[in-house]
A and B are shown apart, each in its own frame.
Chain A
C-alpha cells in the first residue's frame, strides 16, 4: 500500500459542486476525538452541511480472536474493548457464555460482579464527563474525575492484581475471592464519592459556558433514538425508558431493584446526556452502597464437581481430582462441553447495551463471538446529530456520545 493518509473524500457529498462549500478533514489524530476516528466535514462557513464519519482506524480483529481463544482466554481481549470500564465488558461476555453453558452463579459471585461492574460504570462516566468538559475548556472537572478514577483503579488492583485490565472474571465465578481490604476500600469509596460528584456538579451544572455549548446541541428525538438502535444514556437522554438492569435483571440486580432508579431525560441534547450520566453515577453509588453491606458469604465459584471452573492452587496441587480438572480445562482439545447452539446475552454497560452473540460448536471455544458494540451504533447517529451545527460543536457531541474507538472498531 502506498503512503497515503486515507481514501479520497467521497464525491457524492450533498452540494459538493457548489463552490462556497468546502471540505475539512477532521482526524484520525485529533485531540477532540480522544482516540482514532476520522470525520469528513462539508462546511458552509462554520456550519456543517454534512458529516461523513470514516472509521476502522483501530480495527484489530477482536472477533476473529474470539474464534481462536477459549472462553477464559478471551476475557483478556474483551477487557480491551471498552477500556475505560473493562470489568463491565467481562460481565457481559460471561453473561452470554454462562447462559450458553447453563451456569447459575453463586450469590457471592453475583454480588461481587455487580459491585465491580457498577464501579466500572462510575469510572466510565467519570472519564466521559471529565473529558467532555476538557474538550469544552474546563480542565478542573477532568482532574477531579481522574482523582476519583484512581480510587477505582486501586480497588481493581487490590482485587484482581491489575489496575487497568483486571481480567478478573472466569467461567462460573471469579479468579479469586475479594479480601476484607477490598471491602474496606469500597466502603471508603462509597463514603468519599458523593463529594467528588458534588464538586463536578458545582463546576459544570450551572456553568454558563458549559450550558451554552451543550444545551440544544446534537438533539436526538425519541423516535430517532429507537430507529437508530440507540441504547444506554444516549437513548435514555432522549426519553427511551429502557435499562436492561430493570428490564432483564441479571447478576444481583434482581435483589437490588429497590436500590436504584432509571435516569432519563427529555431533551435528547448533549446537556441531557451529561445530566443522565451524572444521575447514573449517583444511582450506581446507591447500588454499591446497598450491595457492599449485603455481600453473601459462601464460595465464589460454582461447585468444583460441575467441572466448569478452574480449581484453586490448593486443590490443583493437593488433590488428584483438582489436578485432573485443571488439566481438562487447559488442554486445547478438552475444555468445556457446550451445546451445539447459539445464544445472545447482554448487559447494560456504561455506554449502553453490550451484548455478545456466541455460537458454539460443542467445543470449548466460541465458533463465533459477535459483539454488539454500543459505541459503533451510537457513532452511526453522529451525522444526523451534526447537521446544521457549528464546527465547534463537534467536540461537544463527540464527548457526549462517549465513543471508544476500540469498541467502535474492534
Chain B
C-alpha cells in the first residue's frame, strides 16, 4: 500500500501491468475438490486436456501458496466453515472459481444440507456452468480469469480493499414484513413469504 501511495501514477500503471502479466500466466490453483467436479478437475490436469498449457498446473494443496481457489463440487453445511477458513488462509491477491452447478447455485441438490451457492459465503470471480463442466469449460474459465486479472489487477492488490460489502445474491425469496403483506383470513404464517419457519 505504501509503495503505490508514494509513487506517481505514471509509474504505478506500468508496475501494475507487469505484475498482472506475471500473475495471470502463473496462477496456482488450490483445488478445493469436494465431489464429482473434482474428478473432472483431475481430468483437466491430466494428459488429454493438460491445464499446464495455461500456466495453471502447479496445484498446491496448501492454501498459503495459492492464487486461485477452485471450488469443485457441492458445499454442505458442515463444510462451509472449512471453506471460509481455507479462503481466509490464502494470501492476497486471490481469486475464486466456482466450478459446476452445485458450487454456483446448489444444482440439483435443493435439500436441507446443501448451500445454494458458495457466493453467499465467500466472494466468487468466475462461475462455470455444467454438471460437471467439461474440462474445456474449466480451461475457458481459467482464460477468463486471466483476462480479469489483466484488466483489474494491481501490484499490491489494492483493488480489493474497498469491497467491504456483501456481494452475493439477494435472498431467494425476500422475507416480507407484516406491513408489506396483505394477510388473507386464516393462518398468518402461510400468508407471508417466510423463508424459514421456526422449529415446531
Query: Direct contact between A and B in the complex (CB less than 8 angstroms)?
Result: yes
Chain A residues close to B by CB (< 8 Å) = 1, 3-6, 28-31, 34-36, 56-61, 64-65, 76-77, 80, 83-84, 127, 131, 142-143, 146-147, 149-150, 153, 163-165, 405-406
- Distance, CA A3 to CA B33, complexed state (A): 21
Q: In chain B, what residue has the closest Cβ to A139?
A: B46
Q: Is the CB of A61 within 8 A of B48?
A: no
Quick one: given A57-B82, A60-B109, are A35 and B42 in contact (CB under 8 Å)?
no
> Which chain A positions have C-beta within 8 A of B21?
none
Interface flag for B32 (CB, 8 Å):
yes
A81 CB to closest chain B CB (Å) equals: 10
Among B32, B108, B109, B134, the residue within 8 A (CB) of A163 is B134
| Distance from A89 Cβ to chain B, minimum over Cβ atoms (Å) | 12
> With A1-B81, A5-B85, A146-B47 in contact, do A64 and B36 touch (Cβ < 8 Å)?
no
Interface residues in B102-117 by Cβ distance below 8 A to A read 108-109, 111-114
Known contacts A35-B35, A59-B76, A406-B35; 11 additional CB pairs below 8 A are A30-B61, A34-B33, A35-B33, A57-B79, A57-B82, A60-B113, A61-B114, A77-B108, A84-B39, A146-B47, A164-B132
Residues of chain B within 8 A of A31, CB atoms compared: 61
A60 to B103, CA, bound (A): 13
- Chain B nearest CB from A53 CB (Å) reads 14
What A residues does B15 contact at CB under 8 A? Answer: none
5 intermolecular pairs with C-beta atoms under 8 Å apart: A1-B77, A34-B38, A58-B74, A65-B108, A146-B43
**Contact in complex: B47, A58 (CB < 8 Å):** no
Chain A CB count within 10 A is highest, among B86, B111, B131, for B111
| B112 interface neighbour in A58, A61, A142, Cβ under 8 Å | A61
The answer to whether B74 and A60 touch across the interface, beta carbons within 8 angstroms, is yes
CA distance A109 to B33 in the complex (A): 35
Contacts of A1 in B (CB 8 A): 77, 81
Q: Is B174 in contact with chain A by the CB < 8 A criterion?
A: no
Contact (Cβ within 8 A) A36 B39? no
Contact with A along B19-48 (1 / 0, CB 8 A): 000000000000011111011101100111
> Do A65 and B79 touch (CB < 8 A)?
no
When C-beta atoms are compared, the residue in chain A nearest to B43 turns out to be A146
Q: Is the CB of A4 within 8 A of B35?
A: no
How many angstroms between the C-alpha atoms of A6 and B79 in the bound complex?
9
Tell me the bound Cα distance from A181 to B77 in angstroms.
Answer: 44
The contact of A57 among B76, B86, B111, B134, by CB within 8 Å, is: B76
A136 to B105, CA, bound (A): 35
B163 at the interface (CB under 8 A from A): no
Among B73, B85, B111, point to the contact of A61 (Cβ < 8 A).
B111
**Residue pair B79, A64 in contact (C-beta under 8 Å):** no
Known: A4-B81, A61-B109. A29 touches B86 (CB 8 A): yes
Chain B contacts of A143 at CB under 8 A? 46-47
The reply to whether the CB of B84 lies closer than 8 angstroms to some CB of chain A is yes
- CB B75 to nearest CB in A, in angstroms, measures 9
- Total interface residues on B, CB under 8 Å, equals 34
B78 within 8 A of A: yes
Cβ contacts B34-68/A at 8 Å (1 or 0 each): 11101110110011100000000000010000000
Rounded to whole angstroms, the CA-CA distance of A36 and B42 in the bound complex is 15
By the criterion CB–CB under 8 Å, are A405 and B34 in contact? yes
Contacts of A127 in B (CB 8 A): 39
Do B34 and A164 have beta carbons less than 8 Å apart?
no
- Which partner residue on chain B sits nearest A80 by CB separation? B36
B111 engages A36 (CB within 8 Å):
no
Complex formed: what's the CA distance from A231 to B61 in Å? Answer: 32
Shortest Cβ distance from residue A295 to the other chain B in the assembled complex, whole angstroms: 29
Q: Is the CB of B38 within 8 A of A35?
A: yes
Does B35 lie within 8 Å of A405, measured CB to CB? Answer: yes
Give A65 to B107 CA distance when docked, in angstroms. 13
**Interface pair B34/A35, CB less than 8 Å apart:** yes
Please give, as numbers and ranges, the residues of chain B lying within 8 Å of A84 by CB-CB distance.
39
Chain B minimum-CB-distance residue to A38: B82
Task: Let me know if B36 and A406 touch, CB within 8 A.
Answer: yes
* B81 and A61 contact, CB distance less than 8 A: no
Return chain B residues, CB-CB under 8 Å to A60: 74, 76, 109, 111, 113-114
- The distance in angstroms between the C-alpha atoms of A35 and B85, with both chains bound, is 17
Q: CA A143 – CA B61 in complex, angstroms?
A: 19
Residues on the A chain within 8 Å of B82, using CB: 5-6, 28-29, 57
| With A59-B113, A61-B114: A83-B76 Cβ-Cβ less than 8 Å | no
Would you give the shortest CB distance from A58 to chain B, in whole angstroms?
6
A406 to B109, CA, bound (A): 12
Closest A residue to B81 by beta carbon equals: A3
With beta carbons under 8 angstroms apart, the residue of B40, B48, B84 that contacts A164 is B40
**Of A6, A60, A80, A165, which is in contact with the most chain B CB atoms at under 10 Å from its CB?**
A60
Report A-chain residues with C-beta under 8 Å of the C-beta of B76: 57-60
Question: Residue A36 contacts which of B79, B84, B85, B112 (CB distance < 8 angstroms)?
Answer: B79
Residue numbers in B under 8 Å from A163 (CB-CB): 134
Q: Of all chain A residues, which has the CB nearest B31? A: A31
Q: In the assembled complex, how far is the CB of residue A76 from the closest CB belonging to chain B, in whole angstroms?
A: 6
Q: Bound state CA distance, A404 and B39, in angstroms?
A: 11
CB contact under 8 A between A58 and B79, given known A147-B48, A164-B132? yes
Assembly CA distance A31 to B32 (angstroms): 9
Q: How far apart are the CA atoms of A150 and B123 in the complex, in Å?
A: 33
With most chain B CB atoms within 10 A of its CB, the pick from A5, A29, A83, A153 is: A29
A309–B168 Cα gap in the complex (Å)? 43
- Nearest CB of B to A407, in Å: 10
Chain A residues within 8 Å of B79, by CB: 28, 36, 57-58
